[in-house]
Amino acid sequence: MKTTPEHNERVAKMTFASVFPHYITKVERKGRTKEELFQVIEWLTGFDEKKLQDLIDEKASFETFFNEATLNPNAVLITGVICGYRIEEIENPITRQVRYMDKLVDELANGKKMEKILRVG
């Protein structure tokens, strides 16, 4: 499934603050913790809790969020299908990075071991 320019723009303009509570709900409902979610997001973006809170407070768009991130070099190892899109085939960098985050949150919620989620070894 190919993303459209309209889809990419909609994803880029969404705010991290609008999606983050859903991430928390999703992982906690499945018995994981907010701390584990922070660990996963920090691994992907390099943002600590304070920086994340700053981005939430300023209602940063995903475009701003990922432009300020230092993406983990192992993020390219995140593959598979999320929201009907094969991650490794998404050409738009911001859309692909948002889907990386979605995939990591899904893996956390689905009980995957942290070492696997963080692509260790």
Element housing 86 (H / E): strand 85-86
pLDDT tier for residue 121 given thresholds of 50, 70 and 90: low
Number of domains forming the structure of the chain:
1
Query: Could you report the per-residue pLDDT of 32-88, keeping only the tens digit for each?
Result: 999 999 999 999 999 999 999 999 999 999 999 999 999 999 999 999 999 888 999
Alpha-carbon span 92 to 58, nearest angstrom: 24
26 in the Ramachandran plot: left (φ > 0), alpha (ψ -120 to 50) or beta? alpha
The residue segments making up the domain with residue 38 are 5-111
For the beta carbon of residue 102, count every other beta carbon within 10 angstroms.
18
What is the C-alpha end-to-end distance of the chain, expressed in Å? 31
For the beta carbon of residue 58, count every other beta carbon within 10 angstroms.
12
Share of the chain above pLDDT 70, in %: 98
| pTM for this model (two decimals) | 0.94
Query: Could you report the per-residue pLDDT of 16-34, keeping only the tens digit for each?
Result: 999 999 999 999 999 999 9
121 located within any domain: no
CATH number at 71 reads 1.10.8.290
